[in-house]
Structures are given as structure tokens and as C-alpha cells.
Chains A and B, each alone.
Chain A
């Protein structure tokens, strides 16, 4: 990645190059435009747009791990699910406030993330992949068995989401839910954009590109990875909590291997290591699913599989890297 920096850029000091990378490009406003357009389409699109916003938040959290920190995980659904269950359980016990519910979900996921990350980040590559895989099966089986807490296979019923900030109720046509999700998405995006362009984010990428060298110049590699892992878990937990609040339900589908693999697929379709890939991937995936899966789920699965295989083989940077091709910059 660092090889692509042109010689002209290399002459300017590091702080200035960071600042120039951080500068907002006009194309980066496209997600905001998309967010603003949805209400104009009519209320029929609120549920899909809400789902996209939630999934994009989840995708962004995974991109932080996979794309920026180079940690490939098959168990990111754990944090989404823990967030969903935490806010759902709080709601069942009478705490239905949506905003603080998000913090409950994020905090619960962060706690699980810091503990699990502390353990699994001692390993790397295939072993790490296997540990995350075992973790996701463990957590979803625990959620299945702990019926008194989670409702087991039936899921958590009786989740009641209160009015937003005490004013706006979550109505049937989904307007409040959409605006809430979109706001959370924009906040997470701004936060993550700041994080990855900050020196901390740059150091994470340095660790990804060459852990040995990062360690040699004095970086505390594992603590930094643990911080990223925890932040990522918290954001995934936020997305999960949001999902539980919108659905007024939390179940096993929010926590298992399937959702972990799906989000990885969505992210990779969009392109890893760039925040906009984490937006494009889930959006394209969910819209295509909405259009195709209604007709024939098996055909949708076939096309999806072919699309993944073709993307990995021919467009390794994901769909969002095609934007660079159009701009004539070539490979990221």
C-alpha cells in the first residue's frame, strides 16, 4: 500500500501527507446523499434502507479489523449478537430507551471483545481463524442453551423500544427507525474516518503490513491490536443493539457463524481496507438480495457465489476499487 504513494507526495512531510489524506474528497459525500435521498423515495423503502444502514455499521466495524488491522475473523457475529442480546435483555427488563440501549450493547460487546481478543490475539493466521470459528459456535450454543436469559431457539420476545429521546415513537412505516439508524451510521462513519487517519490508525496499518518491523521501531503491537479489536467489537455491538431495537427482537440468527460469514462476504465484495468498501458491499448485497431472493433463493445463492468467486479472482480490491480504475489511478 505504501508503495503507491507517488514521489511527489513522498517529499512532503509526514504530517502534511496525513493531513492531505484526511482531506474530504467530494466523492466521500455520496453516502450522505444516499442517506438523504431515501426519505424522498417513499416510506416503502424505509425497512430496506434501515437494514442497509445497520449492516453498513457492522461492516465498518469488521473492516477496521480485516482491512486495517489485517485480522481475518470468522466470528465477528459474536459482537453483533452480544450487542443485540444486551440491549434486548435490558429492554425486556424495562430499559427500553433506544439511545442508551446502543451504549449498553456497545459496552457488552466491548467487554466480550476485550476478553476474547486478549486470548485469541496471541495467535495469528490460521490458528486465529480457527479460534474465532470455535468462539462463534461456542457463543451461539451458549445463547441457545441459556434459554432463561436469551429465550433460546425461540429468541428474545417482549423487547419494547421506547420513544427516541422520549419524543419520537418507532412507528409502523419505519421513519423514526430509519432516521435513527442513519444518524448512528453517520456518527460511526465520522468517528472511524477520524480514527483510521489519525496516527493511531496509521500505526495499525503499519502493524498489518509488517508486524515484525512495527515491533522493531518500538510499537506495542499486541496492545494496539487489542484496542482495535475492542473498538471494533463495540461498534459491532452498537449495530447489533440497533438491530434488536428496530426489530424489537433478538435471536440466534444475530449471533451465529452464518452472519459472521455473510458480513465478511459483504465487506469483501465492497473491498477491504477502505471505509467506502464497507458501505458499498452491504448496500449492493442487500439491494441485490431484495431484488433476486424474492424470485428464487437458490438462484440468488448461485449468483452470489459466482460473484464472490469472480471478485476474488479478478477484482481483489472489491467493487469500490473499481472507482479507482475509473479515476485512472490503477490498483489502490
Chain B
């Protein structure tokens, strides 16, 4: 029983990280149709900004968790304006290559600046303890991660479905020409959406620094997991992302507990079969 709760909690914490890291890609890939393999660079940027600010300037972790995503969002907006926006509507080959090139550049910059070794992201002392509830024990930091994941999931859902801005984004994605002809500035909407995706990725990179270690190859290592979440969730949906993250995280955590040697094989076989049976993913509207 204790193990079961432990597995469930670990899965939920890991799912939250996966969700945060990949939800931004659900927006760019799922809604805007851009095959952006380089989404992980935003998570990497977030992690490095926080790690550096804490170790070099002694900035408090709590502040940086909010501040770093803002910085990354600005960077993402600039990238979108300068580069990404030129490739909307190009074939997926061009988009794949462009994003691979971007990963190389980001990895090289990180390696030239911080060296080849992974960076440590120091967590606040207050979170490095366990919360005991009866026979169960929960790591406080992981609880924060889960809370952040859930909060973002709910926020995204409400924001996209219930707010005026969300409606504008959906309209621009559904039919860009029509949205423009009724007076929406779609290119600014896309930039803002892209920046939001980058910011969420940064939050994921910061909170997940203990799961995916912050090295120069971060974006490449995380790539397949991020893409998998989006593919399993399906394109054109944001609601599916959390469930897809939860499924993948549970599968990985359970196999890590019981069949550690075959974790990778189980995961990719499962995803492969799922995509064959449902090429659009679990909740996808477009293929």
C-alpha cells in the first residue's frame, strides 16, 4: 500500500514536470502546426537562468521561479518574431531542420558559457523535507511541483476556453485568414502565445531540474519525451496534454519500479502502438 501511494505520488510529480515542459509545445505544434523540436531550449534556458542567479547572485528561489519564465518568455517572443514566424507554412522538413539547428546553437552557447558539466540548481531549505501523513511520506518539493502542474493545467484550460484572449487564439488558429479579416492581429497573437509556451517550458525546466539534469545536451535529451507527450495527447487539443503526461509518467514510473531494465522499450512500444491505433493521438482533432 505504501509502495502504491509512493508510485502514484512519484508519477504525479513526474507528470507535472512533463506537462509543464511540453504544454508549450502543444500550443506551437498542436495549435499553430509548427514542428518545433527545439521546444526544450526554453526549459533549458529557464533552468540555467535560475541556477546561475542562485549560485552567482544568491537570488531567492521563490523569486526566480516567477522571474526566470518572464525572461524566457521575452526571449521566446524575440525568437518567434525574428525566426519562427518566417517558417509558418513551410514544410515539416524545414521546420524540423530549423529547430535542430536551433538546438545546436543553444547547446553550444550553454557549453561555451557554463562548460560541459551539468549545473546544480539549489533548492530552498524549506522545501527539502518530507511531509508525514500517517504511514505515508511526501517530499515537500514534489508537492510544490504537483501543485504548480495542476495550477497551470487548470489555468490553461480556463484561459483558453473561457477568456476573450483564449477565444481570439482559438479563432486565429482555426482560420487565420478569417480571424484577420474580422480585425484580429494574428501575428501578435501568435507571438504572445509562443511566448507563453516558452514561459511554461521554463517553469518546467526549473521545477524539473532534479528529473532532467541541466547539461548542454538538455534539449536533445528531453526532445523525445516532449514530442511523445504532444503526440499522445493529439494535435489541436490542450486538454489532452495533462492526461498524456500522466499516462507516460505512470508508465515510466511503474516500469522503473518493477521492470527497470525494460523501461525504454515498454514506453516506446506503447507509444508506437497507440499512435498506430490512433494516429491522431488520444484527443487529437487534426492529423
Chain A residues 302 to 322 lying within 8 A of chain B, measured CB to CB, are 302, 304-309, 311-313, 316
Known contacts A123-B279, A125-B287, A302-B104; decide if A74 and B96 are in contact (CB<8 Å): yes
Residues on the B chain within 8 Å of A66, using CB: 93
Residues on the B chain within 8 Å of A306, using CB: 101, 105
* Among listed B151-159, B244-252, B265-273, interface-contacting one: B265-273
Of the residues B86, B107, B231, B276, contact of A313 by C-beta under 8 Å: B86
Residues on the B chain within 8 Å of A119, using CB: 276
- Give the complex CA separation of A127 and B281 in angstroms: 9
Nearest-neighbor residue (CB-CB) of A67 within chain B: B93
Chain B residues 90 to 105 lying within 8 A of chain A, measured CB to CB, are 90-94, 96-98, 100-105
Nearest-neighbor residue (CB-CB) of B113 within chain A: A298
Residue of A133, A257, A299 with most partner-chain B CB within 10 A: A133
Nearest-neighbor residue (CB-CB) of B231 within chain A: A130
Of the residues A129, A130, A272, A304, contact of B104 by C-beta under 8 Å: A304
- Give the complex CA separation of A233 and B269 in angstroms: 21
| Cβ-based interface call for B170 (8 A) | no
Chain A residues 85 to 125 lying within 8 A of chain B, measured CB to CB, are 119, 122-125
- Give the complex CA separation of A285 and B220 in angstroms: 20
Of the residues B90, B104, B224, contact of A137 by C-beta under 8 Å: B224
Residues on the B chain within 8 Å of A257, using CB: 224
| Cβ-based interface call for A188 (8 A) | no
Chain B interface mostly helix, strand, loop or mixed?
A: helix
Known contacts A124-B287, A133-B224, A265-B97; decide if A305 and B92 are in contact (CB<8 Å): no
- Give the complex CA separation of A133 and B102 in angstroms: 19
| Cβ-based interface call for B275 (8 A) | yes
Q: Assess the A72–B93 pair: CB atoms within 8 A.
A: yes
Of the residues A122, A131, A261, contact of B272 by C-beta under 8 Å: A131
A-B contact pairs, 10 of them (CB 8 A): A130-B271, A133-B224, A134-B271, A135-B272, A138-B268, A138-B272, A302-B108, A305-B107, A308-B101, A312-B97
- Give the complex CA separation of A309 and B100 in angstroms: 8
Q: Assess the B112–A123 pair: CB atoms within 8 A.
A: no
| Cβ-based interface call for A142 (8 A) | yes
Smallest distance from the beta carbon of A86 to chain B beta carbons, Å? 21
Q: Assess the A134–B275 pair: CB atoms within 8 A.
A: yes
Q: Assess the B272–A134 pair: CB atoms within 8 A.
A: yes
| Cβ-based interface call for A126 (8 A) | yes
- Give the complex CA separation of A19 and B194 in angstroms: 49
Residues on the A chain within 8 Å of B83, using CB: 309, 313
Given A123-B275, A138-B264, A145-B261, 13 new contacts (CB under 8 A): A72-B91, A122-B279, A126-B231, A135-B272, A137-B264, A298-B116, A298-B216, A302-B104, A305-B102, A306-B101, A308-B97, A308-B100, A309-B83
Hey, which bits of chain B sit against chain A, CB under 8 A?
29, 35, 83, 86-87, 90-94, 96-98, 100-109, 111-112, 116, 216, 220, 224, 227-228, 231, 235, 261-262, 264-265, 268-269, 271-272, 275-276, 279-280, 287
Q: Assess the A261–B100 pair: CB atoms within 8 A.
A: yes
> Number of A residues contacting the other chain (C-beta, 8 Å)?
42
Q: Assess the A302–B276 pair: CB atoms within 8 A.
A: no
- Give the complex CA separation of A316 and B268 in angstroms: 33
Q: Assess the A126–B272 pair: CB atoms within 8 A.
A: no
Residues on the A chain within 8 Å of B228, using CB: 130, 134
Nearest-neighbor residue (CB-CB) of B286 within chain A: A126
Residues on the A chain within 8 Å of B272, using CB: 131, 134-135, 138
- Give the complex CA separation of A124 and B224 in angstroms: 18
| Cβ-based interface call for A20 (8 A) | no
Nearest-neighbor residue (CB-CB) of A119 within chain B: B276
9 A-B pairs closest in CB distance: A305-B104, A308-B101, A305-B105, A302-B108, A301-B108, A309-B101, A130-B231, A298-B111, A141-B264
Q: Assess the A126–B276 pair: CB atoms within 8 A.
A: no
Residues on the A chain within 8 Å of B116, using CB: 298
Q: Assess the B98–A313 pair: CB atoms within 8 A.
A: yes
Smallest distance from the beta carbon of A169 to chain B beta carbons, Å? 40
- Give the complex CA separation of A272 and B96 in angstroms: 14
| Cβ-based interface call for A156 (8 A) | no
Known contacts A125-B287, A141-B264; decide if A264 and B98 are in contact (CB<8 Å): no
| Cβ-based interface call for A268 (8 A) | yes
Of the residues B86, B104, B235, B262, contact of A126 by C-beta under 8 Å: B235
Q: Assess the B96–A264 pair: CB atoms within 8 A.
A: yes
Smallest distance from the beta carbon of A258 to chain B beta carbons, Å? 8
Of the residues B98, B105, B269, B280, contact of A302 by C-beta under 8 Å: B105
- Give the complex CA separation of A304 and B265 in angstroms: 32
Nearest-neighbor residue (CB-CB) of A304 within chain B: B104
- Give the complex CA separation of A13 and B93 in angstroms: 33
Of the residues B87, B96, B103, B261, contact of A129 by C-beta under 8 Å: B96
Residues on the A chain within 8 Å of B111, using CB: 298, 301
Residues on the B chain within 8 Å of A302, using CB: 104-105, 108-109, 112
Chain A residues 213 to 238 lying within 8 A of chain B, measured CB to CB, are none
Smallest distance from the beta carbon of B67 to chain A beta carbons, Å? 27
Q: Assess the A308–B104 pair: CB atoms within 8 A.
A: yes
Q: Assess the A301–B107 pair: CB atoms within 8 A.
A: yes
Known contacts A119-B276, A123-B279, A129-B35; decide if A72 and B101 are in contact (CB<8 Å): no
Smallest distance from the beta carbon of B145 to chain A beta carbons, Å? 26
Q: Assess the A301–B104 pair: CB atoms within 8 A.
A: yes
Q: Assess the A298–B108 pair: CB atoms within 8 A.
A: yes
Residue of B109, B220, B264 with most partner-chain A CB within 10 A: B264
Residues on the B chain within 8 Å of A312, using CB: 87, 94, 97-98, 101
Smallest distance from the beta carbon of A109 to chain B beta carbons, Å? 19
Nearest-neighbor residue (CB-CB) of A262 within chain B: B100
Q: Assess the B231–A127 pair: CB atoms within 8 A.
A: yes
